[in-house]
Amino acid sequence: MGKYAIEADHVSMRFNINKEGVDSAKEYFIRMVKRDLHYTEFWALKDVSFKVRKGDHMGVMGFNGAGKSTLLKTIAGVLKPTMGTVTTEGVIAPMLELGAGFNHNYSGRENIFLYAATMGFSRKFIQEKYEEIVDFSELGDFIDAPIKSYSSGMRARLGFSIATSVKPEVLILDEVLSVGDAAFREKSEKRLQNLMGDGVTVLYVSHSTDRVETLCNKAIILSHGQLIANGDSSDVCAMYREMVKKR
């Protein structure tokens, strides 16, 4: 790949949506055996292509249902595209959804090691980073409580603390900086800016053009699964503001 951290090449993602509600696994199995399941095709992504240079910070914008989260999941390897390919280079730390990657029955402490292991880091490495992760998260004694008892803000704090403490090559953030109190948001934004200064490639989903312009040098817009803009963040954000006015 050389100079690119991410390459999306004609990526399309299709989901089959059941036309009729199925109330139980038993009913689903019976209908499947009888071949009585009927689906509607839904294309969440349609022929999306773009490249992200190493060290770039790309904002991902679009209205609800545009395909932003689906795109990030294909880049993170959570979903395999129906058509096309996604190529990435380096360790990716995805924060796609609050609590994603956590086992809710395990404690925060246990989930630090579990989450980091999914990114390919050794237990010894995480032990060296453990205190830094806990201190930044500000969870205190809650670190030994099960994740299922955490609020959404607490889960966001822990996930962000892990993902940014290990300093990955690619960091994917899906609106996570909008969660939590003002002081933690400010602290998180400063850490993100420090990572950007260290050359970490960032994909940042946000509806805020101001934040995208502040944090990102590049941006794209998705609409109904299609890529409709790709360029410098200032130009793309101006286009997105016009789209918002016309809604």
- Taking only the tens place, the pLDDT of each residue in 137-154 is 999 999 999 999 998 888
Mean pLDDT taken over the chain: 86
Beta strands at 170-174 and 92-95: parallel, antiparallel or unpaired: parallel
184 pLDDT higher than 70: yes
pLDDT of residue 186: 83
23 pLDDT higher than 70: no
pLDDT of residue 93: 84
115 pLDDT higher than 90: no
% the chain with pLDDT above 90: 52
Domain that holds residue 45: 4-246
Task: Check residues 160 and 38 and name the one with the higher pLDDT.
Answer: 160
> Worst-scoring range by mean pLDDT, 65-69, 140-144, 183-187?
183-187
> Worst-scoring range by mean pLDDT, 72-81, 116-125, 132-141?
116-125
φ and ψ of 142, to 5 deg: -70, -15
> Worst-scoring range by mean pLDDT, 25-29, 58-62, 108-112?
25-29
Confidence of residue 33 (pLDDT cuts 50, 70, 90): low
pLDDT of residue 38: 57
Q: Give 201-211 pLDDT, tens digit per residue.
A: 999 998 899 98
% the chain with pLDDT above 70: 85
Per the structure, the count of domains in the chain is 1
Q: Give 80-113 pLDDT, tens digit per residue.
A: 999 999 999 988 888 766 556 688 899 999 999 9
197 pLDDT higher than 90: no
Separation CA 23–CA 44 (nearest Å): 25
1 pLDDT higher than 60: no
119 pLDDT higher than 60: yes
Bridge-partner residues for 173, per DSSP? 95, 204
CATH code of the domain in which 71 resides: 3.40.50.300
Task: Check residues 68 and 2 and name the one with the higher pLDDT.
Answer: 68
Position of tokens 């918002």?
A: 244
234 pLDDT higher than 80: yes
Confidence of residue 173 (pLDDT cuts 50, 70, 90): confident
25 pLDDT higher than 80: no
